[in-house]
Structure 1
Amino acid sequence: MNPGSGTASARKNAEKKARTFDLTAIFEQAKQTAREVCRQPEKDPEEDPPDPGDVVAAGPSKIGAVDGGEDDVIGPLPPSRATEDKSDSDSDKEDSSMPSSMSIQMNNGVKPISALAIDANGARVVTGGYDYEVAFWDFAGMDSSFRPFRTMRPCESHQIRDLAFNATGEHILVVSGNAQAKVLDRDGLLVLECPKGDMYITDTAKTKGHIAMLNAGCWHPRERTEFMTCSNDGSVRLWDSSAGTKHKAIMKPKQQGGLRAIPTACCYSQDGNWCAVGCNDGSIQIWDHRRNFVNTAQVTRDGHAKSSDISSLKFSYRGHQILSRGLDDRMILYDARNIKKPLKVFSDLTNMYSMTDAIFSPNDKLILTGTSLRKGDTEAEIKVFNAETFKETESHVENASVIRLAWHTKINQVLLTRSDGATKVFYDETSRNGALLCVGKTKIKKKHMETVTSTQIITPHVLPMYRPDKTRLMRKQQEIDRKDPIKSRKPDMPVTGPGAGGKIASGGNTHTSFIVRQLGMREKTDDNEDPREALLKYAKAAEEDPYWVSPAYKKNQPKPIFQAVEAEEEPPSKKSKPV
């Protein structure tokens, strides 16, 4: 290394001046930009000195999510902010109600629709039900007939219990009545089938998968390959769709006494940090996704009634509340930070389906759920409650039980499924895309194509013009047959007269009649005759005129010797004993 070069570089660096910034000019430029954005007139500080009351907070401070307050601003608002607040108040009025001014109905069968899913863009809907079928609906491709473009049975003869799109909308989770969940793509092609566990292994953590019927499932809101399922085997498993050979993690909910609890509903929080599970003993158990799943983070035992399934469990969009729905005709709202004591219990909500939903509105201001039809009832309802005051704000009457509910945030439309096989979509003037894409379309008619074609003749001799006149040929053939002595002979009359052996014969002209007649002349043998005696009566004739047997024994036995028959001795009669 040349030492002179180092000295020259050091001298050059020493001659450089430090870079300076004009902070005053930067601040003035930032203020000018802020005034232009807020459309606030510039004021001369000498004429009108700043008043502390006119200072606007640098950033709006929000009240806690539990209180649900609006932005807290210090001091009076500028005119632009006031106009914004007026528009906000109008939007709040619109957000405080369900978009229900218009609706469409999509029918597929007559059995209850127990599963519903809609992708993140609101373009495709998937439904499944008690008829084992999964129907694919595409709003952009449908016309006013509202028919699915594809139906399939991915799980054979198993009821579809739950459906869900992942975060990207490319995969669909299918949870059915069997022990194996399936992952399909958007068009219904199979991507993954979870393995089935060994039912003879007592520890469910050692098995590769579930060993009993599945109850529910959902995707992770942030990770596109992770999903969760719960089953009647008492386990909740996390899966990775990119692997799929074995579960990723397992959670075992327990009852208060330590026995196994059966999970019937499961969900993630919106940030994916919490996994909540509702069990058939009425308890709600929450695990921290960032830690191991050995111990629960929160548990409540006094939620729903004992031995009552929880049909739905949802986190709010802000993640500060949890909503549960059960078969005990109740809906309970919890604070997610402490679920020991509920915030509100909504009663007298009839529920007869183990998949009935209860959901939040996208702004967490409303709570929606559906009711079921009991025997003798004629109307079910969609109940809408205010999440802050807990009062019922509106209700919509349906003529069948309401099972599934979904409120899409992008298209601002509410979807529901009913027990009569119908799927309804509610929307209003604030909605966009979704059902609006197909509601104005006319039914697509089949096009009748008219074309001019020439028929290609392969066998020309079969055409009528080449066929001979059959009538004239048949008449000529009959005249020829009359001249033939064999063909023109009178046919034989049917056989009549006496017969033998139950058959009619014509006096022995045939060989069969001769044999029958000979059979009838033979002497009948006596069944009671002794066969030995029947043979011995020919002994004298055989001795006088031997023909078959005697010549063979002429040298060694010229005189036939027959076995003598000894007289059988009668057994001694038993003497009667004196009485």
Structure 2
Amino acid sequence: MDDSEDTNVAAAMGFSGFGKKARTFDLEAMFEQTRRTAVERSKKALEERERGEEHATSKGADLKAGASSSGPRRGEASSSDSEDGSDDELIGPPAPSHISEDDMIGPPAPSSLKDSDDEEEEDDDGDDDNPVKRIPDSHEITLQHGSKTVSALGLDPSGARLVTGGFDYDVRFWDFAGMDASLQAFRSLQPCECHQIKSLQYSNTGDVILVVASNSQAKVLDRDGFPVMECVKGDQYIVDMANTKGHTAMLNGGCWHPKIKEEFLTCSNDGTVRIWDVNNEKKHKNVFKPRSAQGKRVIPTCCTYSRDGKLIAAGCQDGTIQIWDRNMNVHTKFHCRQAHVPGTDTSCVTFSYSGVTLATRGGDDTLKTWDIRNFKKPLHTASGLSNIFPVSDCCFSPDDKLLVTGTSVKKGGGSGKLIFFSMVDFQKAYEIQVTDASVVRCLWHPKLNQIMVGTGNGLVKVYYDPVKSQRGAKLCVVKTKRKERQAETLTQDYIITPHALPMFREPRQRSTRKQLEKDRLDPLKSHKPEPPVAGPGRGGRVGTHGGTLSSFIVKNIALDKTDDSNPREAILRHAKEAEENPYWVAPAYSKTQPNAVFAEVDSEEDEPDNEPEWKKRKI
């Protein structure tokens, strides 16, 4: 009955296979089978390893005894192994690297593939033995920063953008993916106005840039060069620099924390090393004060974090190198008093990728490496490396097998070089002649495997290898130069409408010159100034005589030549006209106005002569 009902429902609803049960899997049985197979493979691998060790031991004993016929042969062992391996089917993850090819299931790999793999392994072994072969210097490109020294270089962690700064106060942004073969920067700005740029570095996330110039306030910019924060300036009249909120003298260097993206470090001529937080620009987080053997203040000329961010190292002007624990700012954790010659500026302090070795570039023309576990004396020292810039630096190769630095030269004194030292014996392993100027900055990016070099003549050299390097300069050299856009001029198009009505038809222009002449005669189009007013002024404008109100008054009032000697006669001159044609006052008093009485004086003879002179009326 159930089967018939299912059939009827399936026929009515149009389903096929209605009522069939789904396929089920026994997962526990499958997991148990996989576990057994893995255990068997592990046992088999262990037996193979023991068999190989016994084979190597027996072979060594036979060689010593002079007998080479004892011990199992390779063919027999491989055949037995292949017979054992052909019994079980391997299920699960791929076989470990120590299992031989005979234990693997499937068709054998092509011989050509095996040969190529062997060759690559041999090449890798050769490169491991000789780190010089890993230097990417087969090709180079040149970026024109300016005409003055390039004193700062910075690459973001991904290697997509390069930022350069120099003594010309400019900071330029370069985008390798957006540049073509013309190699032009996409942005240039002066974030610190008239201060030389000393250090530029991207944060560990690559979203902001630390700008350290020769002023006392470090700045943080975003990827596009817009300001994010600016450190506060301290009070220069306070003696104890730990009580000020910021630096009070010129900055010498700075860097980001390798683990904390909001924290960075700066050092200054005020004798302090300060830790800052991007989110708090009003005050520093912590202050470190380097001291000499006598307890006096010492100026730090460079500073850096260790690779794990737990240590802070500073090279000082008295030749010492002082290292603090990041969380303890009073006493140094490591201290070397005679690292470099006193009075010379240590221009760079940097940690290796392993975090154990420290390299310092001194102003005494030396390059030294130190083991922080034994900080009393240097591991290696290289001398004769001229250094005339306070920002000359050094860097480690990504595999910590080479140490790179540049040399300085005076103008016309030869070419600056980029020198590579081997970390094994600290001998000069390789050198590159860069240009006819000093090599100031060098940067070896671990992801791109490219070397950036800043020189004293405003150039930035990028060294790369098409095979060993990745992205970076390889992206822009393959692009062709963009054609220059012609200057676009706006012209007024003339529309010819021959069938339009006369009232809408525009007059056809015969010549441009004639139209320009007509426009010149038009006072509105040519902006012709208004001519001076002739005669008396009108419309609020003053007449021709003079251009000011004072000149108008002088002309019409002060210099009026009609001067009557007798003011009474001048007034009575208009009496007859006022009496005959009253206009102003007389009509209002026509009924009440009395007759005017004036003293009549006919002549001077009627006046009495016996009056004194002072009683006579003055006219």
Q: Any residues of structure 2 matched to 1:287-366 within 5 Å, and which?
A: 287-289=324-326, 291-366=327-402
Question: What is the aligned partner in structure 2 of residue 497 from structure 1?
Answer: none
Determine whether 1:549 maps to 2:614: yes
Instruction: Kindly state the Cα deviation for residue 88 of structure 1 after the two structures are TM-superposed.
Output: 3.4
CA contact (8 A) 1:163 1:175 kept: yes
Q: Distance in 1 between matches of 2:211 and 2:476?
A: 26
Instruction: Kindly state the Cα deviation for residue 464 of structure 1 after the two structures are TM-superposed.
Output: 7.0
Question: What is the aligned partner in structure 2 of residue 12 from structure 1?
Answer: none
- 451, 456, 481: which is aligned to 1:443? 481
Instruction: Sort the Cα spacing of 1:50 and 1:369 in 2 relative to 1 into closer, same or farther, 3 A.
Output: closer
Q: Where does structure 1 lack aligned partners over 5 or more consecutive residues?
A: 1-18, 36-41, 56-75, 471-510, 513-543, 553-579
Instruction: Sort the Cα spacing of 1:51 and 1:108 in 2 relative to 1 into closer, same or farther, 3 A.
Output: closer
Question: What is the aligned partner in structure 2 of residue 201 from structure 1?
Answer: 238
Instruction: Sort the Cα spacing of 1:28 and 1:401 in 2 relative to 1 into closer, same or farther, 3 A.
Output: same
CA contact (8 A) 1:273 1:288 kept: yes
Instruction: Sort the Cα spacing of 1:469 and 1:318 in 2 relative to 1 into closer, same or farther, 3 A.
Output: closer
Instruction: Sort the Cα spacing of 1:146 and 1:83 in 2 relative to 1 into closer, same or farther, 3 A.
Output: closer
Instruction: Kindly state the Cα deviation for residue 200 of structure 1 after the two structures are TM-superposed.
Output: 1.2
Instruction: Kindly state the Cα deviation for residue 90 of structure 1 after the two structures are TM-superposed.
Output: 3.0
Instruction: Sort the Cα spacing of 1:304 and 1:446 in 2 relative to 1 into closer, same or farther, 3 A.
Output: same
Question: What is the aligned partner in structure 1 of residue 223 from structure 2?
Answer: 186
Question: What is the aligned partner in structure 1 of residue 424 from structure 2?
Answer: 388
- 256, 264, 283: which is aligned to 2:293? 256
Instruction: Kindly state the Cα deviation for residue 545 of structure 1 after the two structures are TM-superposed.
Output: 9.9
CA contact (8 A) 1:96 1:365 kept: no
CA contact (8 A) 2:213 2:251 kept: yes
Higher helix share: 2
Determine whether 1:433 maps to 2:471: yes
Q: Any residues of structure 2 matched to 1:359-374 within 5 Å, and which?
A: 359-374=395-410
* Structure-1-length-normalised TM-score: 0.68
Deviating more after overlay: 309-318 vs 83-92: 83-92
Give the aligned residue type for 1:400.
A
Instruction: Sort the Cα spacing of 1:51 and 1:100 in 2 relative to 1 into closer, same or farther, 3 A.
Output: closer
- 80, 84, 101: which is aligned to 2:138? 101
Instruction: Kindly state the Cα deviation for residue 52 of structure 1 after the two structures are TM-superposed.
Output: 5.8
Instruction: Kindly state the Cα deviation for residue 209 of structure 1 after the two structures are TM-superposed.
Output: 0.7
Runs of 4+ that moved beyond 4 A: 22-28, 42-46, 52-55, 76-85, 447-453, 455-470, 544-548
* Structure-2-length-normalised TM-score: 0.64
Q: Distance in 1 between matches of 2:343 and 2:451?
A: 32
Question: What is the aligned partner in structure 2 of residue 51 from structure 1?
Answer: 53
Which secondary structure does the structure 1 equivalent of 2:388 belong to?
A: coil
Which secondary structure does the structure 2 equivalent of 1:410 belong to?
A: coil
Instruction: Sort the Cα spacing of 1:159 and 1:24 in 2 relative to 1 into closer, same or farther, 3 A.
Output: same
Q: Any residues of structure 2 matched to 1:25-64 within 5 Å, and which?
A: 26=35, 29=38, 32=41, 49=51, 51=53
Cα RMSD (Å): 3.8
- 209, 217, 234: which is aligned to 2:271? 234
CA contact (8 A) 1:461 1:467 kept: no
Instruction: Kindly state the Cα deviation for residue 242 of structure 1 after the two structures are TM-superposed.
Output: 2.1
Question: What is the aligned partner in structure 1 of residue 65 from structure 2?
Answer: none
Q: Distance in 2 between matches of 1:394 and 1:296?
A: 36
Which secondary structure does the structure 1 equivalent of 2:469 belong to?
A: coil
CA contact (8 A) 1:122 1:410 kept: yes
Q: Any residues of structure 2 matched to 1:378-527 within 5 Å, and which?
A: 378-397=414-433, 398-428=435-465, 429-447=467-485, 454-455=493-494
Determine whether 1:167 maps to 2:176: no
CA contact (8 A) 2:143 2:183 kept: yes
Instruction: Kindly state the Cα deviation for residue 99 of structure 1 after the two structures are TM-superposed.
Output: 1.1
Instruction: Sort the Cα spacing of 1:462 and 1:106 in 2 relative to 1 into closer, same or farther, 3 A.
Output: same
CA contact (8 A) 2:145 2:164 kept: no
Higher RCO by CA contacts (8 Å cutoff, separation 6 or greater): 1
Question: What is the aligned partner in structure 2 of residue 176 from structure 1?
Answer: 213
Listed one character per residue, the Cα deviations across residues 321-373 of structure 1 (whole Å, up to 9, x for unaligned) are 00000111111110121221101111000011000011110101001110011
CA contact (8 A) 1:236 1:263 kept: yes
Which secondary structure does the structure 1 equivalent of 2:242 belong to?
A: helix
Instruction: Sort the Cα spacing of 1:34 and 1:389 in 2 relative to 1 into closer, same or farther, 3 A.
Output: farther
Q: Distance in 1 between matches of 2:153 and 2:35?
A: 55
- 208, 213, 220: which is aligned to 2:250? 213
Q: Distance in 2 between matches of 1:152 and 1:236?
A: 28
Q: Distance in 2 between matches of 1:451 and 1:146?
A: 31
Give the aligned residue type for 2:177.
A
Give the aligned residue type for 2:442.
L
Instruction: Kindly state the Cα deviation for residue 315 of structure 1 after the two structures are TM-superposed.
Output: 0.1
Q: Distance in 1 between matches of 2:322 and 2:430?
A: 31
Which secondary structure does the structure 2 equivalent of 1:202 belong to?
A: coil
Which secondary structure does the structure 1 equivalent of 2:477 belong to?
A: coil
- 131, 141, 164: which is aligned to 2:178? 141
Instruction: Sort the Cα spacing of 1:549 and 1:396 in 2 relative to 1 into closer, same or farther, 3 A.
Output: same
Give the aligned residue type for 1:29.
A
Instruction: Kindly state the Cα deviation for residue 245 of structure 1 after the two structures are TM-superposed.
Output: 2.1
Listed one character per residue, the Cα deviations across residues 118-148 of structure 1 (whole Å, up to 9, x for unaligned) are 0111110000011000000010111111111
- 258, 268, 284: which is aligned to 1:247? 284
Q: Distance in 2 between matches of 1:422 and 1:358?
A: 18
Which secondary structure does the structure 2 equivalent of 1:267 belong to?
A: strand
Instruction: Sort the Cα spacing of 1:467 and 1:242 in 2 relative to 1 into closer, same or farther, 3 A.
Output: closer
Which secondary structure does the structure 2 equivalent of 1:32 belong to?
A: helix
Instruction: Kindly state the Cα deviation for residue 170 of structure 1 after the two structures are TM-superposed.
Output: 0.4
Q: Distance in 2 between matches of 1:380 and 1:242?
A: 41
Listed one character per residue, the Cα deviations across residues 270-317 of structure 1 (whole Å, up to 9, x for unaligned) are 11111111111111111112x321111000011111011110110000
Pairs aligned (count):
435
Instruction: Kindly state the Cα deviation for residue 399 of structure 1 after the two structures are TM-superposed.
Output: 1.3
Which secondary structure does the structure 2 equivalent of 1:86 belong to?
A: helix
Instruction: Sort the Cα spacing of 1:102 and 1:201 in 2 relative to 1 into closer, same or farther, 3 A.
Output: same
Instruction: Kindly state the Cα deviation for residue 244 of structure 1 after the two structures are TM-superposed.
Output: 2.2
Which secondary structure does the structure 1 equivalent of 2:347 belong to?
A: strand
Listed one character per residue, the Cα deviations across residues 388-444 of structure 1 (whole Å, up to 9, x for unaligned) are 111111111131100000000111000000000000000112111000001121111
Instruction: Sort the Cα spacing of 1:462 and 1:247 in 2 relative to 1 into closer, same or farther, 3 A.
Output: farther
Give the aligned residue type for 1:443.
K
Instruction: Sort the Cα spacing of 1:54 and 1:263 in 2 relative to 1 into closer, same or farther, 3 A.
Output: farther
Which secondary structure does the structure 2 equivalent of 1:395 belong to?
A: strand
Q: Distance in 2 between matches of 1:310 and 1:26?
A: 62
Q: Distance in 1 between matches of 2:361 and 2:340?
A: 8
CA contact (8 A) 2:439 2:454 kept: yes
Instruction: Kindly state the Cα deviation for residue 460 of structure 1 after the two structures are TM-superposed.
Output: 7.0
CA contact (8 A) 1:361 1:407 kept: yes
CA contact (8 A) 2:334 2:372 kept: no
Give the aligned residue type for 1:390.
F
Q: Distance in 1 between matches of 2:472 and 2:615?
A: 114
